Structure 1
Amino acid sequence: MERKYPNLCKPIKLGNVYFRNRMFGAPMGGTDITADCTVGPASTAFYENRAKGGAANVTVSELVVHPETEGSHMYHLDLQTVDSLSSFTYTADAIRRHGAIASVELSHSGQYAGTYLVDKEKKQGMGQWGPSAGTRPDGREVHELTKELIDDIVKSYGEKAALAKKAGFEMIMVHAGHGWLINQFLSSHFNKRTDIYGGSLENRVRFLQEVLDSVRNAVGYGFPIELRMSGSELFEGGYTLEDGIEIAKLVESKIDLLHVSAGTYQRGFGITHPSMFIPHGANVYLAAEIKKHVSVPVATIGGLNDPEMMEEIIASGKADVVEMARALLADPELPKKVMLNKDEHIIHCLRCYTCMAERAETGTRRCTVNPIIGRESDGLEINPAPVKKKVLVVGAGPGGLKAAITAAKRGHEVVLCEQNSEVGGILIGEQAIPFKHEMYQLGVTLGKLAEDAGVDIRLNTRVDKAYADKENADAIIIAVGSEPFLPPIEGLTRDTAILINDYHEKVDRVTDEVIVLGGGLAGCEAAIHFAREGKKVSLVEMNEEFSPDANIRHRPLLLAEIDKSDIAIFKSHKAIKVSENGVLCVNKEGKEVFVSGTTVVCALGQKSRRASVDELWDSALMVSQIGDCVKVSTITTAIYQGHHAALDI
């Protein structure tokens, strides 16, 4: 038997514990933290799902070690709260019974306590503690930790580690990166102390060393300790990679795995959690450089989801372990598929931040491409249907594909019709924009999964009522999606105008002077793409804001990309006429403004294909409508509705 990715699949021993491969489940907060800050049953199922998917370890995040100075609504672990210890015990067991090693991340947010609270105003009443007194950028006062409080926090790290070990966890991660408390001590930007915890790098590392000693004394020799640190803070005034190397050398004797991340949560979210605008593996260089200077095994992280890239990282010695968080939300079975040489079945993370935006806005966890995330306790298995039926799915966009796959897995006879020559629906157009190529790849992969599930895929097939009646299906799932919205703008049908949906077919027709009409998500991303190609780009939007349809994590990074690109901005400008040399607009003062350009790319939104829905409504007794044909929305909505429409048959 030959493994396609032998280095990724090779076991590793840390301390006295063996891990089944080199693919680790990085920390990611759960989905139902109870009012008492225990692990709710949905979170237990959330972590168990990742263990079932083949990861070598699964890390539960974040366990607040000292609620007295960090009262965030994250996990707490103590002997006083009812169900606290038992909830962790059940979670460790749920992870371990599938062969993964259960780990828990010990954390203290320091002066950024309360970051994850949905009620942001509640932070006003929380004490904000850090290595030094001061005022946060948002105006909140930060109190300096006394030596007595430092000692108590150090002690609490050991106490929580001991309780986690008692609960059945076989590894501890100490979080010392991303701008949290330990990072604040390490950084001269935050740490202005003049005692033994401030000044020189050796002094600034002292708190971390004491924490690691406290944890080691609690868990004993041979129990693996993983240290998560930022290889560099990556902002002016923060510590550098050279400092990161020295920090690592000062603590390596106290740990079993050095997990090298990047940046700080407050000053580089899109770097710490690499956005679609950044290459995959952009932070690997930090781990690779630090590994040259330490003898302890090193883990790397940051936008990793491609087995070939991860295999090369291990094979070339850049790191000993690769860690994934979002990638295992998109496809919890990624490690298992790698182990089984079935990497072509992997559903890749889109780096769209739906998962992190929902956490911040609603306190839940969601994933664009995986409808199970946050709902694992509803059941992971797709059970066979008691009565097998013929199901006609109309439209092979992401929602229709997911519906077809789920219905086929339930044992139904599934016919999937698509009027285009390939599957993917609106995702087909993403192939021409490099940083969105994984969205196109999603359609390709779902198509393969549908084919492998036995779905009868019929391309170039438009379904009207006559066709549907002839098929005589027991159930129809209508997933015909949406079509471009074209307002009555004079000249919009000129040859110089291209619909964003058709751009992938007309790349060669785009000149070096491009006007993008529409500053929603699609238009903004197109403008960024054209600017990266070196074209002269003008972005025209009739409203005052760009991309209100982007989620709260993606939007700031999107706007930052626009700001740093050489894009001419025209907000509050309504296009009234498209000509050969540009677009005539009216601004909010009612004055005409001519925007010059020789190609116009229209990204003016989508509208539901309701006519097809109405035509097919009586072609079967059971009819479902999903995705954009119901209401123009997101891939997340389409896939979720498609999956559940199939479960309902």
Structure 2
Amino acid sequence: MKTLNASPIFTPISIGNVKLKNRLVVSPMVTVYCDPDGMATERFIVYHETKAKGGWGAIIVEDYAVDPLGRGFWTPGLWKDEQIQSHAELTERVHREGSKIIAQIYHCGRQTTPAVIGEQPVSASPLPCPVLGAIPRELTIPEIKKIVSQFGDTALRAKKAGFDGVEVHGAHGYLIAQFMSKYSNKRCDEYGGSLENRLRFPLEIIKDIREKCGPDFMIGFRISADEKVPGGRTIEETKTIAIKLEKQGIDALHVSAGTYESTWAIIPPMNITPGWIVNYAEEVKKVVNIPVMTVGRINDPFLAESILLSGKADLIAMGRPSLADPDLPNKFAKGQHDDIRHCIGCQQGCLETLFRNEPIRCLVNPTLGYEYLEELKKTEQPKNITVVGAGPAGLEAARTAALAGHKVTLYEQTDHFGGQFATGAIPPSKGDMSSFVSWLGNQIKKLGVDIQLNTKYTPAICDEEKPDVVIIATGATPNKPPISGIDGENVLNAEDVLLSKVSTNQKVVIAGGGMIGCETALYLASLGKEVTIVEMLPTIANDEEFTRRVLLLKNIEENHIEVITDAKITSINSNAVQIEKSQETINIPADTIVLALGMKSNNSLAQELEGKAPLKIIGDAIESRNALEATREGFLAGVEV
């Protein structure tokens, strides 16, 4: 049994000639913080500088396009010399804080967004990306040679800009991966067919980079160990490729998974087990002698530590955890474990916004992307602030106001923190949500917030305490439309069911097939109930983040939950639900009906307090939305009081 005296996380390691102070690496994540011409903005620079201050051993900066016609979003670029200067400022400021910085270089190929580049994408073969749909043009051999040279030129510009190395992006279904995989490469020339031919493109790229940048310049390679698509590459072929990549002169392998068709594997949501592809890195590590990096839902430094101790990987890439808490390494080094704000895998800010080509954000870290604004400052005029409601919006408002130096009192009419967010953690695979509520509660206690649970805030309390500002974060309440029989004893709401305030009988109909209805259905199915979902729309779970939706629908099918869409509930009685579908009336047997028909804002308190104190209304009390908006509004309310 190994004895842990000093954490292996903080053991230095060398990648080629680049020495890292610790084993924690920020994996590359598209941010949309650069300008459309690929130049580094102040927002982009400070975002990375903040991570460097947080103690990360290395930062891999995302997706430097080798050609402006080969990028999927507004990613950074080093396809021309004019871009070097802005990115040189980035590397200088990161180095000043003690971290190494590596430029990931890529070409999207068929995963290029036509709307971004305004032209037809290119690829190894004229097969469309199943997600984006555009049919690419098959590259000619002279065009392939040109792109090989573009990779080398881009790497050289990265070297001139002060980067410590480059990571060649051969994963996630981008152009290099398109050549390497039989899933996307159907060529019959020297760049297709056999594994040797399919590897010709990446091996030529590595050779070109080495010739242009010299023997001492660090070259890493990112690879999807398993593409998680029918006919895609799996781990055994990946191991063979790893051997050949090492022989060609790369200095490290970054082992990931997935393509755009399996986006859930590239950016695994909370439904996926933490550290789920560590064994892929372990398999690759068996066949190479260079450092191997693992990644994928490693959101806790203790988990990172155990992976290193087990010898399964040499480096730990933590992308989204660095979004949630850029100070994670420093906090862990200082033993401030309960101060670490963990990524919960919600995907709301880092993925949903990204696929709209908008700057990324973070639900649990409302300052992400706004670091350059320095919004939170200590006040010179402390106020008495009352916050009503202990959901994410209210908790974040209380935390931020207390950090700013105000005296804060938090009122919550129930006996617990979290509001709907706490309820949302109850269905299967959503337990990570409770960690954020727990973190917020711990932080406000440390900050001395006066917490009043089981207390309904009233105008009388306001008159007695005379706060300087009241922040109203009273959330939302379930919708209850006028349906015959909806007030029956066998009709329950989803929140009460999830909180175990009530019990259902065996045959359950869920009224509403949104995220809440679907997750409640899964929860009840896990308890052995026979569940049917009735939804008015043609499809279910349309309000769920798309990677989680894929897995949610799969779980609904596996749990044999019946789904009836395009149907309207017209009446409810003691043993059945009556619906209309395709102009036909159908009775569905049911012992219990659970309502999941959406939420409506609960802002009646604002009307009651009108004229008694300055008010700020935040979160679902304004409009029922998601927690990404709630935490940002809570943060701003705490800053601006």
Output the TM-score relative to the length of structure 2.
0.93
Which of 355, 369, 394 is the matching residue for 2:364?
369
1:503-544 CA distances to partner (integer Å, 9 max, x unpaired)?
343288244433211112211222234345554221112333
Asked if 1 retains the 8 angstrom alpha-carbon contact of 2:72 and 2:108, the reply is no
Shift of the 128–602 alpha-carbon distance from structure 1 to 2, 3 Å rule, reads same
CA distance in 2, matches of 1:483, 1:508: 17
TM-superposed CA distance for 1:385, in Å, is: 0.7
Asked if 1 retains the 8 angstrom alpha-carbon contact of 2:127 and 2:184, the reply is no
The residue number in structure 2 matching 1:604 is 597
The residue number in structure 1 matching 2:460 is 466
Asked if 2 retains the 8 angstrom alpha-carbon contact of 1:330 and 1:348, the reply is yes
CA distance in 2, matches of 1:70, 1:640: 29
TM-superposed CA distance for 1:555, in Å, is: 4.2
CA distance in 2, matches of 1:159, 1:362: 27
Shift of the 293–587 alpha-carbon distance from structure 1 to 2, 3 Å rule, reads same
1:335-390 CA distances to partner (integer Å, 9 max, x unpaired)?
2222222222222223222221112214221222221122222126x211121111
Amino acid at match of 1:110: G
TM-superposed CA distance for 1:243, in Å, is: 0.2
The residue number in structure 1 matching 2:14 is 13
Asked if 1 retains the 8 angstrom alpha-carbon contact of 2:110 and 2:134, the reply is no
CA distance in 2, matches of 1:5, 1:129: 49
Please identify, of 572-581 and 182-191, the stretch whose mean Cα deviation from structure 2 is larger: 572-581
Asked if 1 retains the 8 angstrom alpha-carbon contact of 2:32 and 2:75, the reply is no
Asked if 2 retains the 8 angstrom alpha-carbon contact of 1:105 and 1:174, the reply is yes
Shift of the 645–67 alpha-carbon distance from structure 1 to 2, 3 Å rule, reads closer
1:225-277 CA distances to partner (integer Å, 9 max, x unpaired)?
22100112222222221101100111124222211001212x21112211232
The residue number in structure 1 matching 2:85 is 86
CA distance in 1, matches of 2:236, 2:56: 32
The residue number in structure 2 matching 1:613 is 606
Asked if 2 retains the 8 angstrom alpha-carbon contact of 1:30 and 1:60, the reply is no
The residue number in structure 1 matching 2:96 is 97
The residue number in structure 1 matching 2:106 is 107
Amino acid at match of 1:101: K
CA RMSD of aligned residues (A): 2.5
Asked if 2 retains the 8 angstrom alpha-carbon contact of 1:70 and 1:127, the reply is no
Amino acid at match of 1:93: E
CA distance in 2, matches of 1:126, 1:557: 33
1:609-629 CA distances to partner (integer Å, 9 max, x unpaired)?
221121123332x32111111
Please identify, of 574-583 and 413-422, the stretch whose mean Cα deviation from structure 2 is larger: 574-583
Shift of the 229–425 alpha-carbon distance from structure 1 to 2, 3 Å rule, reads same
Q: Are 1:146 and 2:137 matched, yes or no? A: no
Shift of the 450–489 alpha-carbon distance from structure 1 to 2, 3 Å rule, reads same
CA distance in 2, matches of 1:432, 1:72: 35
Q: Are 1:514 and 2:515 matched, yes or no? A: no
The residue number in structure 2 matching 1:502 is 496
Shift of the 290–627 alpha-carbon distance from structure 1 to 2, 3 Å rule, reads same
1:375-390 matched pairs, under 5 angstroms: 375-379=370-374, 382-390=376-384
Please identify, of 516-525 and 239-248, the stretch whose mean Cα deviation from structure 2 is larger: 516-525
The residue number in structure 2 matching 1:117 is none
CA distance in 1, matches of 2:226, 2:172: 10
Shift of the 487–139 alpha-carbon distance from structure 1 to 2, 3 Å rule, reads closer
CA distance in 1, matches of 2:55, 2:531: 46
1:373-429 CA distances to partner (integer Å, 9 max, x unpaired)?
22222126x211121111111111111110111111111111111111111111221
1:596-639 CA distances to partner (integer Å, 9 max, x unpaired)?
2333322122121221121123332x321111111111111111
CA distance in 1, matches of 2:72, 2:335: 45
Asked if 2 retains the 8 angstrom alpha-carbon contact of 1:521 and 1:547, the reply is yes
1:88-145 CA distances to partner (integer Å, 9 max, x unpaired)?
111112322222211111001122222xxxxx5466x414222234566576443333
TM-superposed CA distance for 1:78, in Å, is: 4.5
1:503-542 matched pairs, under 5 angstroms: 503-506=497-500, 509-532=503-526, 534-542=528-536
The residue number in structure 2 matching 1:155 is 149
The residue number in structure 2 matching 1:429 is 423
Q: Are 1:207 and 2:201 matched, yes or no? A: yes
Shift of the 490–4 alpha-carbon distance from structure 1 to 2, 3 Å rule, reads farther
Please identify, of 37-46 and 489-498, the stretch whose mean Cα deviation from structure 2 is larger: 489-498
1:195-226 CA distances to partner (integer Å, 9 max, x unpaired)?
43322212222221221222233333343322
Q: Are 1:191 and 2:192 matched, yes or no? A: no
The residue number in structure 2 matching 1:132 is 125
Amino acid at match of 2:97: H
Shift of the 256–286 alpha-carbon distance from structure 1 to 2, 3 Å rule, reads same
Q: Are 1:276 and 2:243 matched, yes or no? A: no
Aligned length: 636
Q: Are 1:633 and 2:598 matched, yes or no? A: no
CA distance in 2, matches of 1:456, 1:132: 63
The residue number in structure 1 matching 2:174 is 180
Q: Are 1:263 and 2:258 matched, yes or no? A: yes
TM-superposed CA distance for 1:24, in Å, is: 0.9
1:158-173 matched pairs, under 5 angstroms: 158-173=152-167
CA distance in 2, matches of 1:488, 1:77: 60
CA distance in 1, matches of 2:528, 2:241: 41
Q: Are 1:402 and 2:402 matched, yes or no? A: no
CA distance in 1, matches of 2:623, 2:167: 44
1:239-250 matched pairs, under 5 angstroms: 239-250=233-244
Q: Are 1:311 and 2:305 matched, yes or no? A: yes
Shift of the 48–495 alpha-carbon distance from structure 1 to 2, 3 Å rule, reads farther
Shift of the 494–20 alpha-carbon distance from structure 1 to 2, 3 Å rule, reads farther
Secondary structure at the aligned position of 1:514 is classed as: strand
Shift of the 584–45 alpha-carbon distance from structure 1 to 2, 3 Å rule, reads same
CA distance in 1, matches of 2:310, 2:295: 16
Asked if 1 retains the 8 angstrom alpha-carbon contact of 2:70 and 2:108, the reply is no
Shift of the 631–66 alpha-carbon distance from structure 1 to 2, 3 Å rule, reads closer
Asked if 1 retains the 8 angstrom alpha-carbon contact of 2:344 and 2:435, the reply is no
CA distance in 2, matches of 1:495, 1:222: 74
Shift of the 129–572 alpha-carbon distance from structure 1 to 2, 3 Å rule, reads closer
1:433-478 CA distances to partner (integer Å, 9 max, x unpaired)?
2312222221111010111112111111111011122112111111
TM-superposed CA distance for 1:553, in Å, is: 5.1
Secondary structure at the aligned position of 1:164 is classed as: helix
Gaps of 5+ in 1: 115-119
The residue number in structure 1 matching 2:435 is 441
Amino acid at match of 2:589: S
Shift of the 577–140 alpha-carbon distance from structure 1 to 2, 3 Å rule, reads closer
TM-superposed CA distance for 1:502, in Å, is: 2.0
Please identify, of 458-467 and 431-440, the stretch whose mean Cα deviation from structure 2 is larger: 431-440
CA distance in 1, matches of 2:595, 2:32: 39
Asked if 1 retains the 8 angstrom alpha-carbon contact of 2:427 and 2:522, the reply is no
TM-superposed CA distance for 1:551, in Å, is: 4.2
1:250-305 CA distances to partner (integer Å, 9 max, x unpaired)?
1124222211001212x211122112322222222211222222222111111221
Secondary structure at the aligned position of 1:105 is classed as: strand
Secondary structure at the aligned position of 1:27 is classed as: coil
Output the TM-score relative to the length of structure 1.
0.92
Secondary structure at the aligned position of 2:563 is classed as: strand
The residue number in structure 2 matching 1:40 is 41
TM-superposed CA distance for 1:564, in Å, is: 5.2
